[in-house]
């Protein structure tokens, strides 16, 4: 099971959350991509408008399953 976390690399709260997840997860479940990585976002069909709504979590086994904002954080 793999999940991709798309976060705002310019917002300290998101960066801190990702750092905490990295320590807890140790690369087992989550990968992390900042919203500023337009090439990767394009690969997943994520637009700048999508990013305006907050953090995005993508199910790596079924990329159509996505959660955003507080749902992604939970």
Q: Please write the tens of the pLDDT for every residue from 20-40.
A: 999 999 989 999 999 999 999
DSSP calls for the chain: --EEEEE-TT-HHHHHHHHHHHHHHTTSSEEEEETT-HHHHHHTT--HHHHTT--EEEETT-TT-EEETHHHH-
Spatial distance between the Cα atoms of 39 and 46, rounded to a whole number of angstroms: 10
For residues 31 and 73, which has the higher predicted lDDT (pLDDT)? 31
Q: What is the pTM of this model?
A: 0.86
Cα–Cα distance measured from residue 35 to residue 41, given in angstroms and rounded to the nearest whole number: 7
Where along the chain do its domains lie? Answer: 3-73
């Amino acid at each position: 099971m793999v999940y991709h976390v798309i976060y705002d690399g310019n917002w300290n709260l998101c960066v801190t959350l990702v750092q905490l997840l990295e320590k807890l997860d140790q690369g087992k479940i989550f990968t992390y991509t900042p919203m500023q990585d337009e090439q990767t976002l394009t690969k997943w069909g994520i637009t700048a408008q999508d990013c305006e709504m907050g953090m995005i979590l993508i199910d790596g086994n079924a990329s159509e399953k996505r959660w955003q904002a507080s749902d992604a954080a939970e």
